[in-house]
Structure 1
Amino acid sequence: MDELLANFVVQPLLNVKNLKGNTRILKRKLDSLECREADVRAELNCAEGNSGKKWKKEVENWLSNVAKRKREFESLEQQLQRTRFHQFYSRLNLAERIVTMTEEVTELVNQGQFSEGLLLEGDRSTAKLLLTPQHNGQAFLQNFNDIWASLLDDNILSIGIYGMGGVGKTTLAKHVHDKLENEPKFSGHVYWITVSQEFSIYKLQSDIAHALKLDFSSETDETKRAAVLFEAFKKEGRFVLILDDVWKQIDAEKIGIPPRSDGCRLVITSRLEEVCHWMGCQRIIKVNTLSKQEAWELFLEKLGRELDPEVEEICKKMVKRCCGLPLALITLAGSMRGVTDIHEWRDASEELKVSCMGRADMENEVLPILLYSYDRLRDPKLQRCFLYCSLYPEDYHIQRDELIENFISEELMDRRLSWRAENDQGHAILNQLERACLLESVSDWYVKMHDLIRDMALWITKDNHRYMVKAGLHLREIPDMQEWTEDLDKLSLMKNSIAEISSGMSPKCPRLSTLILRGNPLKLIPDCFFRQMRGLRTLNLTGTEIQYLPNSISDLENLRTLLLSYCYKLKSVPTLEKLRLLTRLDLAYTEIEEVPNGVESLTNLKVLDLVCKSLSTIPTGVLHRLSLIQQLNLPYHIGVPIEEVEALKQLEVFRGSVNSVCDLNRLVTFLQSIRPLIFYSIVLISKFSRNTFGKQSPSKLVAFGGDSLMDSSLGEGKIMLPRDIETLIFSRSGLSSSLVDGFQMLNNARYVKKCEVYYEVDIECIIRLSSTEEQQSRGVPFQNLEELFLYGLPNFIRLFMWERRAAVAPLLPGIFTQLKDLIISRCNKMKKLITWSLLQTLPNLQKLDVRFCNEIEEIIGDDDDDGSPVINSTADVTMPGLKILKLVGLPELKSICKWMMICDSIEKIEIIMCTKLKKVPPLDGQPSPPPSLKEIKLLEKEREWWESLEWEHPNASNFLQPFVCFTIMPTYLDTLPIIR
């Protein structure tokens, strides 16, 4: 009895009393474990890189368990900080968990010896080094390990990485940055800043503020800005600041970087060793070029194929000329990819030799190699498009679509008969530049230029193409007059801080064709500024703060492109009557109230964007005369004159609204008669109710709003939809009780991938099912639907409803089988979301998001009480593709699923304000968490509810703890509707 009393009463009390001491013991154990983990990973990287063998499964499991323990300890530390002395029950639980975790960590330390080795014997693999997808050299790995060890050493507060351009300094630093993001010691406070050669204190302060999510754009005094940054950094505690591409000494205090202390780590990369010394770096690491063998392997990897012996000898000579520089090797391989003829290889080798010999005086050894790749493009249009990319700031993510629009308007590409053909040509050019490694793909929508590639492009343009590029330098004043030379062709001042142009400035630049002032806080341009720029073809003032344009713009008769979008203060535009060569006019999101005078005279116009909220009307006859228009974007609050749109035979992209079903049908008929549109966004609104529609991403979309379906003139008239419609939206349109009943054409709409329904009062369900025969005769609606969003539907009951006579009718085969996202919010009459039988039609569901449905009691329930066929299944519920489950603001929710729920793909679960819920089936029933689980988000004030949940598996609460994230300010507000 005494022993039992000690076990159940005395020992727990002692654990609470010794909480701080036990925590220190656990921390020391974890430090030992982390050291062992670092050793294991170093051994793995070295052994795997040299032998190509795979890890043993026990090693993989051990590393996974180490990561879990580290996450759990981080969570425990946060709980300890929040737990007060009087919260005895919480401290008791924490004390017990710390004791248990100490035993687990000790066991992991012992298990981490791996006396029988880390890798499988005899199993060769082509896997690359864990952290080096591009640089598989031992030197790279050694440098990485040295930097990592220095970062974890409290005595080393600053690290310098130096080496010649293109050697891989930035790549190495990026790998360090990515690993630091998951390092508990710095709590994710890791900041990457690109400094560049054109350095200024003001620009660097702005870049750091952006990384810290600070806004002091209204403060121009550098000393005050430094004080703000200093305080922000001090609040961070421990942090790592990485300054990439530093060219000269930076006074950290002038910037606002705190003096290096125990909590601050500074990492810089530079081409100059002396910069590292000037910056006081305690650890300086040189990044050397690749060895001969490493260079050859990297070249072959990027070339993507094996070589014939004769070609291989030529290649080795070419690789030797790259001097072991990774960027040069990658670029060279990209330019030679696909070359098979031996004669072409020999010719390329001679060209490269001449290129390197002829430009040996260049500052950087890698530039001749890069220049060779530019020369090898051969096609002048590829070269022109490549050089145009250098007009953007360093390290800038450039939208592909924007680039292609500029290629078209600048006439850098071959002319095509249609916008689609030109757009396809633009994508093909960007793909070719990516394959040649002269552009880097950031995502499906963005590309960027490596800073050294951009340096090379600017070097070319200075001598041969007369470019002046001062983009993204935070300049406060326009360049001096002497820099505006008469032979200047293109000038980019994009993304600076230029607020004004002096009143008498009138640069004499008769050959200037492109002027980019985009992204400056420019308020006024003097009338004399453009008077000596009569050759100007492109003027880009996008995103400036200009209110009025100078009258001299009216005399720029060679102008082809005038871009004024997002000039939120622009209220008027002078007459455009004389700009008859203009092909592209963008006035989107300006404050103009009238269509500019003379637009009807712009008979060469191909792109017109008038999406302006203040625009009151489109005068009769304006559109009719613009017969070459390919892209037309009009504001949704103005009904388009159908008879004028019917004159636009070249139209390929359309965005606008119509006033009636009759107009909609007429527009759809016309658009389908000329040619299939690439994109369209058509909105039907009532003449008496004007909805505000947000800007849609490129899609084939039709939306109904403003009581448009309650128009008395509609009668029994048929509503037409384009055959290839992809997105369908309803907002206060007057839908009937069933969506499909109101739109019979949906039974055959094969292309609809997205459907959104907002604020519809009468709708009760998506589909009302009748007898099997009737269903088969109708067709299968929504067979390719991927996203369904229901918001603010007060009478919505179910996704499916059965008529009583159809009580035994099965669900339509194929319906909803492609659905990936189901999002339902503020549908207060629902009690059950999905029935067991409906769940069988959702094999591809990835996201289930239910919010603020006040009456909902079940997420997945029986088939009953709705006229549906009753299927009493006892089988487990399997959701093979579900990744995200969000349940927010459901006060009556009692059950997610009453059956065993198998959901191995789940990554994120968010449950907030669902306090009647007692079980969470997707997380229970197994001895370990789902393998893909990343996060369980809960509300801080609902911690006790979480701790009171019932679990089938006795250890579920413990093994889930490392994934739990408590938030004080939850992100559970409704997703804002696209249409209001």
Structure 2
Amino acid sequence: MDNLLESVASLFPDLEEITDTLQRKIELLKSRKDDVDEKLQNVACRSGIKRKREVEEWLDNVENIKKKFETVEQQVQQSSGFRHVFTRQALAEQLERMTKEVTELLDQSHFPSGVFLEVDESIDQLLLTSQPNGQAFQQNLNDIWTSLMDVSVASIAIYGMGGVGKTTLAMRAHDRLLKEPTFSGHVYWVTVSQEFSIYKLQTDIAQALKLKFSCGSDEKKRAAQLFQAFKKKERFVLILDDVWKQIDTCKIGIPSKMEGSKLVITSRSEEVCNRMRCQKIIKVNTLSEQEALNLFWKTFDSDERSSEVEGICKKMVKGCGGLPLALITLAGSMRGVNDIHEWRDASERLKESCMKQEDMEIEVLPILLYSYQRLRDKRLQRCFLYCSLYPEDHLISRDVLIGNFISEELMERRLSWQAEVDQGHAILNQLVRACLLESESFGKLKMHDLIREMAIGITKDNPRYMVKAGLHLKELPEEQKWTEDLDKVSLMCNSIEKISPGTSPKCPTLSTLILRRNPLRLIPDCFFTHMCGLRTLDLSETKIESLPNSISDLEKLKALFLKSCDELESVPSLEKLKELRYLELSSTRIEKVPQGMESLTNLKRLSLLCDRLEMIPTGTLHRLAHLQQLELPYHLDVPIEEVETLKQLEVLNCGLNSVRDLNRLINSRRIDKPLYFYNIRVGSREMLKERDRGGPCKVLFFGENGLMESSLDTDKNMLPQDIEYLRFFRSGLSGCLLDEFPTLSSARDLKECEIMVEDKLECIMRLEEEQQSSGVPFQSLERLNLTQLQNLIGLFKWEAVAAPLPPGTFSCLGRLSIRRCDKIKKVFAPCLVRNFHNLQFLYVEDCAQMEEIIEDDKNERADITLPRLKALFLFNLPQVKSICKGKMICNSIEYIWLDGIKNIKEFPLYLPLLDDGQLSHPTRLRTILIHREEKEWWESLEWPHHNAKNVLQHLVKF
């Protein structure tokens, strides 16, 4: 069986590669959508002509595919490892279908003349521009493409002032190159930025190439390894974005003028382009006045404006100097403004801002500064400036960012954690709408480098930040740069391994110090001596082995983050840190709770997911009455009587001793605040490794003997009504699942149920003539996995005569897996198949007594329809004599994998007839995989049509 699975796995495409390719196509599609929007708005502004319904539908389809991709991409990230081999195959298939859909949408985006509008008039005559940034943009893009296709041109430079659209041009060329067969997908994008070093650039290029250095930190050896990696590619394009000074490509390891290779750079300096001897240099000019107005109104996104407003707008737009970034940011800051007085005031303020900042090097910065000032709300300004602490071009997780806003107390205080999270999302949405942050996929955000530059410029004064993030620094900045008026310091994502003995910066007002993601091992005890005002200390993802004792004296500290410090074994006493609100110690090596933790009575979040932690001292949790989030290791049983006292609790990840404790918890939460998210294990410390689900969710896991005590109770086992994931493993589950947990009848959010190694379970639900339950069991269930259930006789058990399933039961089930269940003889009864109309994946393996997949209907030879079934896997079922007696109609079937079902004499797959009367295989069927040792069995199968085997033969793989 393992050999077969390995063979199957080798057939699977590279899921991550498919995802990356599709993401690039979707980005191209998004750009194309912007083009269409621009064209429509330009025409609407001039003529008021309405867009056609076909175009409206196309725009809607683009939005839908973007949202669908975000969901699937999260599933891809959660499906690593061979355990998910079939899940990954299904995802690959889904991504391939989406790729086809995106390709079709891209093809449709080249609308013929007249298709946009309700009149048959030439688009070329109606439109002012053919690209979002004007005709010059398209001309520049054409020049770049011509140079890329010219074998005599090895290096191309794109230059222009900040915010003019250099990166946008390069990105368009990048996306187009990915579809160009000349370079076989060997197209690499690396952002260089102002503070670059040879070492950092080598690291970033290696990451783009998916290359791991084997030569340590020696720059010459790294350059040689990079050179060889590029040489193997033969034809490639390397795009270096945002180059500030000359780069010696030989020192980096970039081949110079290698036949078939291309180097593309973007820079603000023509001198840099010349010094790097670029053969083709293209200047990106600012927009014309009309193009600038069009871009402003497109971003402003409102048709309601008076002639007076338009006059004021023209003056404001003129002040932007035709810079797209300035126009977009300014328009974003003015969204929703309708009052003429506010327009006049805004125009005056913008004029003053530009006058005050006329000595600034980059003309766009005064406009950006004005947009920041227009935020007015101090919360928005504080949160915006905080984003500048991350490295340039860093993708920032919304959830992480909001957590930081909360711990840094940048927002208004709310009564609950959930209310604060909601406030955080609202603030981020406002910053995105104001065009000061950019939304990326997967809930990530990014700050344009110029906007970050403006933010860092603001924080050179008040508040005062020192930001040296993502620069691959090997040492701390010089001590003289640690000025006494510093408020926040960010040194995240560097290469700092140690802090020299005796280092003790005098920063009495420093409130935030971020050293996360450094290979830092040691901090001298004197380092924090003069940081008495420190409120947030982030040492997460460092190699720190022990913390200096001076941390114990940081009495104003409110947040201490030590997550994933996998060398950290102990923490000094926290007794004096009575102001501490957030303590994060997950994934460290600590074995004991830090001394003095019971004194942290203001603590709101405690995260102690540590595999080595031995115990939680009695009475510790009882003292932490303000806890909103509690995460404790699953191998420890939390004292339920202490958890019950935590009235403010909203997030709980922990282990409970028994089902009785779970019932107590559920009952207590009915009175207190409900849990918004939870991941709870009931039973012994032995449990399967919980997979990362890519975000907060509601999970309940019954581990070994977790239900044994419930047999002694008179009360029924309880489940939270909002449970999403339910798992059992050697828990003592017996009889009927629905009898054990009657509340499953009304669990409307349950998405996945997994039951493994339960010897006493007989069925999932019992069917009677008159159903007792008023609810609809398993109405939202999407995945059901049944593994090693020695006493399972079937999904259902009839008490007397066959009874129908309640309408809606299992109606969302997409994936059903049954493995090593020796007593089960059938999967479905024919009368119940209709409930499984959404089933897409059916996997049955090692079921010794399985006789039929779909039971034989004694009354008639009925055809069975599974309209959405995509994959059928049947492995090692020695007693199976039929899949079903009638025809199995599965027009959506794509994969069939069969092994160890030699007693089946007839394969029931329905084969449709074409218009000419010829037999055909189902149109989506790609592969029928048969074990090589069973070729003879396959050849002996009987078919209802004499030509059926020939029709399918080209799809069979042995």
1:806 paired to 2:795:
no
Please show how residues 501-650 of structure 1 align to structure 2 within 5 Å.
501-650=499-648
Could you tell me how far apart the structure 1 residues matched to 2:793 and 2:613 are?
41
Which residue in 1 is equivalent to 2:156?
159
Which residue in 2 is equivalent to 1:107?
none
- TM-score, normalising length from structure 1? 0.78
| Equivalent in 362, 366, 369 of residue 368 of structure 1 | 366
1:817 paired to 2:811:
yes
- The answer to whether the 8 A contact 2:114-2:121 is kept is no
Which residue in 2 is equivalent to 1:850?
843
Which residue in 2 is equivalent to 1:878?
867
Which residue in 2 is equivalent to 1:299?
296
Letter of the 1:783 partner, please give it: Q
Which residue in 2 is equivalent to 1:678?
676
Q: How far is the alpha carbon of 1:852 from its aligned partner?
A: 5.4
User: Against the structure 1 CA distance between its residues 364 and 886, is the aligned structure 2 distance closer, same or farther, given a 3 Å change threshold?
Assistant: farther
| CA displacement, residues 3-23 of structure 1 (integer Å, 9 cap, x when unaligned) | xxxxxxxxxxxxxxxxxxxxx
Could you tell me how far apart the structure 2 residues matched to 1:287 and 1:955 are?
62
Which residue in 2 is equivalent to 1:420?
418
1:208 paired to 2:200:
no
Letter of the 1:200 partner, please give it: S
Q: How far is the alpha carbon of 1:386 from its aligned partner?
A: 0.4
Q: CA RMSD in A?
A: 4.4
Q: How far is the alpha carbon of 1:294 from its aligned partner?
A: 2.3
The answer for unaligned runs of 5 or more in structure 1 is 1-40, 61-111, 969-980
Please show how residues 365-764 of structure 1 align to structure 2 within 5 Å.
365-443=363-441, 445-686=443-684, 689=686, 693=690, 697-711=695-709, 714=712, 716-764=714-762
User: Against the structure 1 CA distance between its residues 741 and 324, is the aligned structure 2 distance closer, same or farther, given a 3 Å change threshold?
Assistant: same
Which residue in 2 is equivalent to 1:26?
none
User: Against the structure 1 CA distance between its residues 601 and 826, is the aligned structure 2 distance closer, same or farther, given a 3 Å change threshold?
Assistant: same
Letter of the 1:864 partner, please give it: D
| CA displacement, residues 177-214 of structure 1 (integer Å, 9 cap, x when unaligned) | 22333333322222211111111111111112222222
| CA displacement, residues 730-785 of structure 1 (integer Å, 9 cap, x when unaligned) | 122122253223222211223323322233344454333232x1x25453211122
- The answer to whether the 8 A contact 2:734-2:761 is kept is yes
| CA displacement, residues 565-609 of structure 1 (integer Å, 9 cap, x when unaligned) | 100010000101111111111111110000000001111111111
User: Against the structure 1 CA distance between its residues 208 and 362, is the aligned structure 2 distance closer, same or farther, given a 3 Å change threshold?
Assistant: same
| CA displacement, residues 79-115 of structure 1 (integer Å, 9 cap, x when unaligned) | xxxxxxxxxxxxxxxxxxxxxxxxxxxxxxxxx9xxx
Q: SS in structure 1 opposite 2:189?
A: strand
Which residue in 2 is equivalent to 1:328?
326
Please show how residues 63-212 of structure 1 align to structure 2 within 5 Å.
135=132, 137-212=134-209
- The answer to whether the 8 A contact 2:38-2:132 is kept is no
Could you tell me how far apart the structure 1 residues matched to 2:318 and 2:632 are?
58
Which residue in 2 is equivalent to 1:864?
856
Could you tell me how far apart the structure 2 residues matched to 1:527 and 1:438 are?
40
Q: SS in structure 1 opposite 2:552?
A: helix
User: Against the structure 1 CA distance between its residues 727 and 653, is the aligned structure 2 distance closer, same or farther, given a 3 Å change threshold?
Assistant: same
| CA displacement, residues 904-946 of structure 1 (integer Å, 9 cap, x when unaligned) | xx8xx56667698999979986799x9x99996899998999x
Which residue in 2 is equivalent to 1:100?
none
Could you tell me how far apart the structure 2 residues matched to 1:142 and 1:852 are?
60
Q: How far is the alpha carbon of 1:533 from its aligned partner?
A: 0.9
User: Against the structure 1 CA distance between its residues 467 and 225, is the aligned structure 2 distance closer, same or farther, given a 3 Å change threshold?
Assistant: same
Q: SS in structure 2 opposite 1:806?
A: coil
User: Is the deviation greater in 331-340 or in 918-927?
Assistant: 918-927
Q: SS in structure 1 opposite 2:428?
A: helix
Aligned residues between the structures: 848
Q: SS in structure 2 opposite 1:297?
A: helix
- The answer to whether the 8 A contact 1:836-1:862 is kept is yes
Could you tell me how far apart the structure 1 residues matched to 2:121 and 2:621 are?
61
User: Against the structure 1 CA distance between its residues 134 and 48, is the aligned structure 2 distance closer, same or farther, given a 3 Å change threshold?
Assistant: closer
User: Is the deviation greater in 257-266 or in 192-201?
Assistant: 257-266
Could you tell me how far apart the structure 1 residues matched to 2:251 and 2:721 are?
62
Could you tell me how far apart the structure 2 residues matched to 1:943 and 1:456 are?
68
Could you tell me how far apart the structure 2 residues matched to 1:143 and 1:150 are?
11
Q: How far is the alpha carbon of 1:794 from its aligned partner?
A: 5.6
User: Against the structure 1 CA distance between its residues 802 and 451, is the aligned structure 2 distance closer, same or farther, given a 3 Å change threshold?
Assistant: same
Letter of the 1:457 partner, please give it: A
Which residue in 2 is equivalent to 1:272?
269
Which residue in 1 is equivalent to 2:780?
784
User: Against the structure 1 CA distance between its residues 547 and 695, is the aligned structure 2 distance closer, same or farther, given a 3 Å change threshold?
Assistant: farther
- The answer to whether the 8 A contact 1:478-1:498 is kept is yes
- The answer to whether the 8 A contact 2:827-2:855 is kept is no
Q: How far is the alpha carbon of 1:128 from its aligned partner?
A: 11
1:901 paired to 2:890:
yes
User: Against the structure 1 CA distance between its residues 479 and 778, is the aligned structure 2 distance closer, same or farther, given a 3 Å change threshold?
Assistant: same
- The answer to whether the 8 A contact 1:580-1:603 is kept is yes
Q: SS in structure 1 opposite 2:388?
A: helix
Could you tell me how far apart the structure 2 residues matched to 1:528 and 1:353 are?
49
Could you tell me how far apart the structure 2 residues matched to 1:549 and 1:877 are?
61
Q: SS in structure 2 opposite 1:701?
A: strand
- TM-score, normalising length from structure 2? 0.79
- The answer to whether the 8 A contact 2:738-2:744 is kept is yes
Could you tell me how far apart the structure 1 residues matched to 2:529 and 2:826 are?
70
The answer for unaligned runs of 5 or more in structure 2 is 1-31, 44-48, 59-106
Q: SS in structure 2 opposite 1:280?
A: coil
1:246 paired to 2:243:
yes
Q: How far is the alpha carbon of 1:465 from its aligned partner?
A: 1.5
User: Against the structure 1 CA distance between its residues 952 and 366, is the aligned structure 2 distance closer, same or farther, given a 3 Å change threshold?
Assistant: farther
Could you tell me how far apart the structure 2 residues matched to 1:920 and 1:438 are?
60
Q: SS in structure 2 opposite 1:841?
A: helix
User: Against the structure 1 CA distance between its residues 555 and 185, is the aligned structure 2 distance closer, same or farther, given a 3 Å change threshold?
Assistant: same
Letter of the 2:841 partner, please give it: L
- The answer to whether the 8 A contact 1:48-1:54 is kept is no
Could you tell me how far apart the structure 2 residues matched to 1:172 and 1:832 are?
60
Could you tell me how far apart the structure 2 residues matched to 1:877 and 1:753 are?
21
Q: How far is the alpha carbon of 1:387 from its aligned partner?
A: 0.2
Could you tell me how far apart the structure 2 residues matched to 1:202 and 1:680 are?
43
- The answer to whether the 8 A contact 2:891-2:923 is kept is no
